Structure 1
Amino acid sequence: MEQEYHVPVLLKESVDGLAIKPDGIYVDLTFGGGGHSREILSRLNKGKLIVFDQDADAYNNRPDDERLIFVRHNFRYLTHFLRYLNIPKVDGILGDLGVSSHHFNDAERGFSFRFDAKLDMRMSQNLKTTAADIVNTYSEQDLKRLFWQYGEIKKSGKLSGAIVEYRQQTPFKTTTDLKLIAEKCGPKKEQSKFLAQVFQALRIEVNREMDVLKSMLMQSGEVIAKDGRLVIISYHSLEDRLVKNYIRSGDVDKTNAEQDLFGHTDVPFKAVNRKIIIPSDEEIAVNGRARSAKLRIAERL
């Protein structure tokens, strides 16, 4: 039974970016509703598609296709499972990062401040730490760090102080508990944006999203065959910065590649699109999730 998921963002542009060979082997790192995967399958003949998703709803949404191999784990284990499947190299990897509207609209998961729910935010129920655990146990300094680093909240100290003060009386349990405190700390004119930044920061921390992305990018250079493609859709500057750095330098933490004595650089990929590809106004009008999307495509050297 297929469930309602988000409309895939930059569908044609991203799948075109894979330069698919009908008999090739490809990876979709974030199956979700399967929109990108179904488009990839439509362009394959005898090829294979390996998809990753740790969410049970995504697994239940998979198509019945013998060319598809579903891995119910986080894509940080990319290399491990390709070895397990005896697949040394793949011809392309597609990653549509971020959180699907399906998760935001599922009140019980606690991803959105629009619903009153348990303060959870785990992509997989196998994870031990919830958002409630973080706001109830992290030090004020650690809370300040994560809201600044992952939410890009300038006055993160005010928010972290308010959280620590509140929890001394009663622990945070629900999204509403956090929303009521956060609302007092952000600008009234941009309240929804501020709350989105707060919840984003916690979600990234709960699911270790930056660490997972860094790990996957470094692995991609090992598993993508020569002339294969790396295609990544990101939704906020933190993700895009890591992807851009890796394509430019071969290192997620460096903006430019190092040169040897002869001026040569050793980078695994070259950018296919020098400028980021963004959705058209028409796509944004019908798909709000596309508003902040950025697409980068790179080819394995």
Structure 2
Amino acid sequence: MTSSTKAEAPLHIPVLGREAVDALAPRDGGIYVDATFGAGGYSRMILDVPGTRVIGIDRDRTAIAGGFDLVDAANGRLTLVEDRFSELADVCAVQGFESVDGIVMDVGVSSMQLDQAGRGFSFRFDGPLDMRMGHNGPTAADVIATASESDLADVIYIFGEERKSRGIARAIVAARRETPITTTRALADIVGRVVRSKPNDIHPATRTFQALRILVNEELDELQTALVAAEQVLKPGGRLAVVSFHSLEDRIVKTFFNARGKSGGGSRHLPEVSQLAPSFEILTRRPVTADDAEVAANPRARSAKLRSAARTEAPAHPADGLQDWPSLATVMRGG
């Protein structure tokens, strides 16, 4: 990358950014996918290696628009595409690449989105209860207005890992009978009357907001589908690096790598069933976490985990079925 690229692009260092890019081992002539472009931190670091090319994907058109200066400064080595990262295989094909040398994913909401009150992701600011990473589909306010009490309780319990999910769901349904719940502050206040917090605890609404955000953006389905797409697109030796921020995401990544990083499919009872050759070599037997300095500079880094693996020469495994958790379509049918 030229010095002009560094000067013109806004400085953004994603959580575990250097560790994730080091795991990719970018090289001159390599093609890389920044599957969650955000503020462009990963792309910028990859482009620092001369001769690299990057395809940046983000469903948030605000993020895409914010990367135009970096596109100009990269002199043809960066292409940005507005799409879901689960579609990365199709995005690469449209760009003329059947296979790539590395893929990096930073799963979940970005700090940039959290800091914009109008996006409705955070209870720290009062704003419309939106939470969409893109600009299509139902908002969190739509979910709150439509979902049945039992569905709300399931969503908050499964995606938010909130033990008081049933009480929160009851309170939401009672409140919406009186007046529509359309702002982040209104929802946070309702949750705060059910969940009592002690000093130094997380905000009472943290888990409920997380659960709604995951549902609205179908984040876990997106992650599962994106991992399968990455397996299909990576060249032998190509690297996949995934940074996640909560246990549900990390569990999906860990399970995916473990299933594909070891032989399986046959047994002594069914010797005729051919075993599947490992499609990945796991590079991180234990997840990489942020050091004390990064956590001090960015508290969000405390929960971050990086897992990485290298693609083998073996064929991709059959795609896994999506897990049985609440779907946005089902919840929006109400009850």
Q: TM-score by structure 2 length?
A: 0.83
How big is the shift at 1:250?
A: 3.5
In structure 2, what is the equivalent of residue 21 of structure 1?
A: 27
How big is the shift at 1:235?
A: 0.3
Q: Which runs of 5+ in 1 are unaligned?
A: none
Q: Over residues 118-157 of structure 1, what are the superposed CA-to-partner deviations in whole Å (9 max), with x where a residue is unaligned?
A: 10011111x2200000011001111011101110001211
Query: Closer, same or farther in 2 for the Cα pair 1:40/1:107, shift >3 Å?
Result: same
Q: 2:96 aligns with which of 67, 86, 95?
A: 86
How big is the shift at 1:3?
A: 8.9
How far apart, CA to CA, are the structure 2 residues paired with 1:55 and 1:2? 22
Structure 1 residue identity aligned to 2:158: Q
Q: 1:129 aligns with which of 123, 132, 138?
A: 138
Aligned counterparts, 1:114-263, within 5 A: 114-125=124-135, 127-189=136-198, 192-250=202-260, 258-261=264-267
How far apart, CA to CA, are the structure 2 residues paired with 1:26 and 1:86? 13
How far apart, CA to CA, are the structure 2 residues paired with 1:229 and 1:3? 26
How far apart, CA to CA, are the structure 1 residues paired with 2:10 and 2:140? 25
Does residue 289 of structure 2 align to residue 278 of structure 1? yes
How far apart, CA to CA, are the structure 1 residues paired with 2:113 and 2:9? 12
Secondary structure of residue in 2 paired with 1:60: helix
Conserved 8 A contact 1:20-1:44:
no
Secondary structure of residue in 2 paired with 1:189: coil
Conserved 8 A contact 1:52-1:73:
yes
In structure 2, what is the equivalent of residue 34 of structure 1?
A: 40
How far apart, CA to CA, are the structure 2 residues paired with 1:168 and 1:2? 51
Q: Over residues 19-52 of structure 1, what are the superposed CA-to-partner deviations in whole Å (9 max), with x where a residue is unaligned?
A: 212111100011111111100001141x321010
Secondary structure of residue in 2 paired with 1:8: coil
Conserved 8 A contact 1:248-1:270:
no
Conserved 8 A contact 1:7-1:287:
no
Q: Which runs of 5+ in 2 are unaligned?
A: 1-6, 313-335
In structure 1, what is the equivalent of residue 298 of structure 2?
A: 287
Q: 2:86 aligns with which of 64, 69, 76?
A: 76
How far apart, CA to CA, are the structure 2 residues paired with 1:204 and 1:266? 33
How far apart, CA to CA, are the structure 2 residues paired with 1:142 and 1:49? 40
How far apart, CA to CA, are the structure 1 residues paired with 2:194 and 2:215? 20
In structure 2, what is the equivalent of residue 53 of structure 1?
A: 58
Conserved 8 A contact 1:2-1:61:
no
Structure 1 residue identity aligned to 2:48: S
How far apart, CA to CA, are the structure 2 residues paired with 1:220 and 1:55? 20
Structure 2 residue identity aligned to 1:295: L
How far apart, CA to CA, are the structure 1 residues paired with 2:50 and 2:9? 24
How far apart, CA to CA, are the structure 1 residues paired with 2:87 and 2:20? 23
Q: TM-score by structure 1 length?
A: 0.92
Structure 2 residue identity aligned to 1:75: F
Secondary structure of residue in 1 paired with 2:198: helix
How big is the shift at 1:54?
A: 2.1
Does residue 309 of structure 2 align to residue 298 of structure 1? yes
Conserved 8 A contact 1:144-1:160:
yes
How big is the shift at 1:99?
A: 1.5
Secondary structure of residue in 1 paired with 2:178: coil
Conserved 8 A contact 1:18-1:230:
yes
Secondary structure of residue in 2 paired with 1:188: coil
How big is the shift at 1:267?
A: 3.2
Q: Which moved more, 1:144-153 or 1:50-59?
A: 50-59
Structure 1 residue identity aligned to 2:35: L
Conserved 8 A contact 1:5-1:102:
no
Conserved 8 A contact 2:240-2:309:
yes
RMSD: 2.0
Query: Closer, same or farther in 2 for the Cα pair 1:82/1:136, shift >3 Å?
Result: same
How big is the shift at 1:264?
A: 4.5
Structure 1 residue identity aligned to 2:77: R
Secondary structure of residue in 2 paired with 1:167: helix
How big is the shift at 1:243?
A: 0.4
Task: Tell me the matched-pair count.
Answer: 295
How far apart, CA to CA, are the structure 2 residues paired with 1:148 and 1:224? 35
How far apart, CA to CA, are the structure 1 residues paired with 2:114 and 2:263? 38
How big is the shift at 1:268?
A: 1.7
How big is the shift at 1:169?
A: 1.4
